[in-house]
A = this chain, B = another copy of it.
Amino acid sequence: MPRDPQYDILFESIKFGPKTARNRFFQTAHCAGPGSERPGAQAAFRGTKAEGGWAVVFTEYCSIHPESDEYPYTSARLWDEGDVRNLGHMCDVAHGHGSLAGVQLWYSGGHAPCLESREIGRSPTQFQSNMFATRTVYGSEMDESDIRSVITMYVEAGRRAEQAGFDLLEVSAGDDTVPIQFLEPRYNQRTDRYGGSLENRARFILEVLTALKRNFGARCAITARFEMDTLHGPEGVEAHGDGLKLLELFRREGVVDLVSLKIGDYAEWGEDAGASRFRKSGWVTPFIRQGKAVLGPDIAVVGNGRFTSPDDMVKLVRGRVLDFIGAARPSIADPFLPKKIEEGRPEDIRECIGCNICVSKFNQVGQIMCTQNQTVGEEYRRGWHPERFAPTLQKCSVLVIGAGPAGMECARVLGERGYVVHLREAQSELGGHWRWVTRLPRLTEWERVISYRRTQLQKLRKVAVHLGVGRMSAAEALSYGADRIVVATGAHWRGDGAGPGCGAIPGADASLPHCLTPEQLMSGKAIAGKRVLVLDAEGHFVGISIAEMLADQGREVTYVCDASEVAEYGVFTLEAANNKRMLFEKKIRTYRNHWLSGIAPGRVTLTYLYRFGADLLEPRAGALPRRDNGGDFELDIDAVVLVTSRASDDALYRELKARRHEWAKNEVQDVYRIGDCKAPMQVGQAMWEGHRLAREFDSPHPQWPLPWIRERQLWGNETVPKLGDARPRVEGD
């Protein structure tokens, strides 16, 4: 189907500097990529987006020099010829799909922990890093020769970038990198010509851009990623202060071809990559609109805001808010977003839900994951394409039991591959437990997990969805007539308070009126009384969201967690700061590093987890070899919500496996399980399991994953650099 003409404006080609982008879809630099260390993964990850219609694809932030080494966090790097070779492959693949390749030049001197290089970054003034405070990082204060050296680092990295084939050289002036450190009074207390007035504080970024323009401007676009507001008040950059004034300087000096705008420094990264629990699509627009107004028509502006709706995008372009639709997360959730608009099938877009699992995996230094897109990060190492599926060579019928996230995704991919699938769900709607999750405060966008799959399942002719069929017994499943059975029956929250590494809590029993599991609460079990305690060992979104929901209902809420951080996973998803702000604002009483040692009607006992002495005593039986310093205390509480741990609903699977002797006579070839019914897991992982099983359904032993390509050094292969290589000379003297 041809695209809707109202979207034509999104597909106009745009020229900036010496380059022309074929449309307005611009994948801004974003993390959780494979850097320069895994070249196959990097090229396939970014290349898939180029194939899917993104006119510009970027690396993640790219370190220009070993002084800016944030290992183990994965940046790209342009340090040596090895990086040119590795990132060059990405450029080749992007160009092959008609897209431009961009690289974000990054120097975070004074913040970089340099845990691999052991170097020391340079900063405008010396300060202790708040970005990596736990790494005890300080920079060395630059003199003018240091400033020249760092500018040379940008130029040298630019040279390697051009050699690799990059079309856009973007300077990061945000996220606490050195260009914005010079702008911020909190980081720049210099008294020379690089400190004091805005003109002086802007000198560094303008000199860097001018140097890049002079050296590469004829062949590469020179661009900036600029943080209009660091969200630190007058000690940082404020949009209505230096932010807009710097953009005015950019315009006047003519040093950039394009500017990509953002807000929020590293500490406020959660305001840049806003999670849907706190920010709705377009929250940055008030800032971007003002930035574009200052930059004028000649400098192209890229703006992000978790945009997934083509109608929203058109409005932004027509409203002259921006020239390019910037996207990080939406391009992860759907690398083919532009192509789906172009092909007139916007209903096929897998919309980002803003859960920030992708960012969390960067922060955990793990393989990237996306709740919506199970192929992300698997393009090269497992050869998975988000939109193409190998037709099965062993056609057969499959019964998928349970239409929660894992079951839906498995059925979808099996359907794409040509299997005959019956997806059967006990309840009357698709989604399983995810249906109540989306009713937690501000999680409505998370419903897209269900709606995308509903649409796709409807389109697949060989997939039949049976809703409201009640729980299947093992006998029913065996005699159903399917060749193969996939069990996806999920999990439930435990009602006995058993948490990580500890047993049930005395008195915890969700069959009693004053104890509730999350499911019970969300399906209407009444709370008698005003004083509610939420016990959270999940540490992600369930406990904290329930605490907020109950506070919004006017209850007196107490939140207790075992960890040192409330809703600890929020550190990874960038929600930690706003979680704490929310608890304080909503007056939710909080205990960290505590647990319940007893629950009785109207009363609970709290225990401090570190009440034992630090000394180790002689070993003895029946007690810890430590001094018990006591200190338990009681609180008057009317009800406790037990967000402690989950347990698989695996009875059906276990019965089917125990009745293996009946398979042959029922012509059942095999039985598998996926997702929470195997082990409770993050929803993205559960769907990945469903997807993976379907992708490998004709492998010899599909329950178990096949090997993947591990990109790493193999002994005997060449290395770059080699011992004795010279240091690229950036120092002037």
Contact = CB atoms under 8 A, between A and B. Distances in A.
B679 A503 contact: no
Interface in A84-102: 85-86, 88-89
A678 interface: yes
Nearest to A110: B679
A127 B501 contact: yes
A5 interface: no
A577 B72 CA distance: 25
A192 interface: no
Given A500-B133, A613-B585, A714 B622 contact: no
B564 A565 contact: yes
A584 B116 CA distance: 36
Given A503-B186, A714-B39, A240 B621 contact: yes
Contacts of A564: 564-565, 576, 592
Interface string A104-118: 000000100101111
Given A134-B539, A383-B723, A539-B136, A241 B712 contact: no
A580 B116 contact: no
Given A238-B622, A584-B611, A619-B240, A681 B136 contact: yes
Nearest to A704: B727
Nearest to A647: B126
Given A539-B136, A713-B38, A721-B707, A608 B593 contact: no
A540 interface: yes
B367 A645 contact: no
A711 B714 CA distance: 8
Given A72-B365, A709-B723, 11 more contacts: A37-B713, A82-B714, A128-B499, A128-B680, A143-B654, A233-B623, A286-B619, A592-B592, A699-B727, A707-B726, A717-B718
A578 to B, nearest CB: 4
A82 B716 CA distance: 11
B287 A130 contact: no
Given A129-B500, A681-B136, A577 B610 contact: yes
A482 B709 CA distance: 56
Interface in A631-662: 631, 644-648, 650, 654, 657
A624 interface: yes
Contacts of A278: 614
Given A134-B563, A580-B593, A537 B128 contact: yes
Contacts of A608: 584
A705 B119 contact: yes
A705 B118 contact: yes
A705 B728 CA distance: 10
A11 to B, nearest CB: 32
A18 B133 CA distance: 50
Interface string A607-631: 0101111101011111111110101
A623 B232 CA distance: 8
B679 A140 contact: yes
B710 A720 contact: yes
A340 interface: no
Contacts of A498: 127
B717 A631 contact: no
B128 A646 contact: yes
Given A239-B619, A622-B233, A382 B723 contact: yes
Contacts of A365: 71-72, 115, 365
A366 interface: yes
A443 interface: no
Contacts of A718: 714, 717
Contacts of A539: 133-134, 136
Interface string A58-92: 00000000100001100000011010011011000
A658 to B, nearest CB: 9
Contacts of A678: 120, 140
A499 to B, nearest CB: 7
Contact of A364 (B72, B364, B620, B720): B72
Contacts of A86: 713-715
14 contacts: A79-B707, A85-B715, A86-B713, A86-B715, A134-B563, A140-B648, A229-B625, A234-B622, A584-B611, A585-B627, A706-B725, A711-B719, A712-B712, A712-B713
